[in-house]
Structure 1
Amino acid sequence: LQGLIGAGMGPGPALALLLAGPALSLPNMLVIRRILGTKKTLAYVTLVVIAATLTGKLYGTVVEP
Structure 2
Amino acid sequence: MMIPTYDRSTDSIANSSELKNRWGKYQGDNIFAKDISYEATVDSIKLIMKGCIEQKRISIKRDR
Q: If you compute each CA radius of gyration, which structure gives the higher value, 1 or 2?
A: 2
Q: TM-score, normalised by structure 2?
A: 0.42
Q: TM-score, normalised by structure 1?
A: 0.42
Structure with the bigger RCO (C-alpha within 8 Å, sep 6+) is 1
